[in-house]
Amino acid sequence: EIVMTQSPATLSVSPGERAALSCRASQSVSSNLAWYQQKPGQAPRLLIYGASSRATGIPARFSGSGSGTELTLTISSLQSEDFAVYYCQQYNSWPYTFGQGTKLEIK
């Protein structure tokens, strides 16, 4: 099973600033990685797939990069609605696995 480790657990950033969230895999996932956003009381929402492709309707301020074992989600200029929990998920091999999440909070 591939273990996904996200860091940091919590990230405090001011609105308008840039945030970089890290996801590390215990073995290569190639580019078979997705990022999701989850707000309290809501289901997760797909942001990024294929490590760097934005899902339909996702603003350009969200970008994904990396491949292999080191992947990053960057939010270029944080808006109030971006403060949430973010999860990475590998789908390179069964069983699919998620990271434990990064909580992005307002500084």
The footprint of another protein (CB under 8 A) covers: 1, 32, 34, 36, 38, 43-46, 49-50, 55, 87, 89, 91-92, 94-101
Nearer to another protein (CB atom), residue 16 or residue 40:
40
> Minimum distance between the CB of residue 80 and another protein, rounded to whole angstroms?
23
> Minimum distance between the CB of residue 88 and another protein, rounded to whole angstroms?
10
Positive or negative, the CA dihedral 59, 47, 25, 85 is positive
Nearer to another protein (CB atom), residue 77 or residue 100:
100
Nearer to another protein (CB atom), residue 7 or residue 77:
7
Distance CA 11, CA 30 (A): 26
- 3-state secondary structure labels for all residues of 80-93: HHHCCEEEEEECCC
Positive or negative, the CA dihedral 55, 58, 60, 61 is negative
Nearer to another protein (CB atom), residue 16 or residue 95:
95
In this structure, the number of other CB atoms found within 10 A of the CB of residue 71 comes to: 27
